[in-house]
Amino acid sequence: MATTRATRMSTDERREQLLNAGVELLAERGYEQVSIEEIADAAGVSKGLLYHYFPTKKDFLLAALRRGDDELQARLRPDPAIPPAEQFNVGLDAFLDDVERHPRAYSAIFRRLAGGDFEVTALLEEGRKRRIEAIVAGIAGWEDSPLERTAELETAIQGWVFFAEGAALRWLEHGELEREQLRVMLQVALAGAVAAATAAADLRVGAVD
């Protein structure tokens, strides 16, 4: 049955089916505990077919990370119907939803995998850059924003993104805070990052004067 179905599926459809099955397993048990054979079984295909699309388990992980980041970026995309200052809150909720939906995968990636694998680290960094770009562009577009796009603002937001990732990781692993507490903490931390960028920009302007 699986072989018959495979001939009817397009390449993209089959690839999505495999990713969907594998991501569910990763969300339940984490990357290190899931084998390529289990992913094939969950998708109802042979191990050979899975290897045809993803030659190694890391290839599968990278594809899943890319898709997950694309989906998150789509949710973070500014909505013209929402005031610019509110777009950050929508994006923050999308990020926290993602963390809550895949806690084991998030913890495995940021705690164990990212530090030891160049390709995974590079992919995560690419995702960070996209999120930093979206946040910087959003803040620079606020009507009451004290900053335009500057090196100070980009530096401050990069630091905030790392802070948000670390805070979310601790939230998952220790469970000491309610989600709303973490949400408020990240909102206030962003305001502090913007204030720090403003102060640094003022120093630069003062030095020029």
Domains of the chain by residue range:
1-55, 64-208
User: Residue 167 has what pLDDT?
Assistant: 95
CATH number for region 1-55: 1.10.10.60
User: Residue 162 has what pLDDT?
Assistant: 92
Block residue for tokens 């102060």: 199
Q: Is 5's pLDDT higher than 60? A: no
Which of the two residues, 69 and 79, has the higher pLDDT score?
Answer: 69
Which tens digit of pLDDT belongs to each residue from 24-33? 777 676 667 7
64-208 CATH fold: Tetracycline Repressor; domain 2 (1.10.357)
Q: Do 1-55 and 64-208 share a fold?
A: no
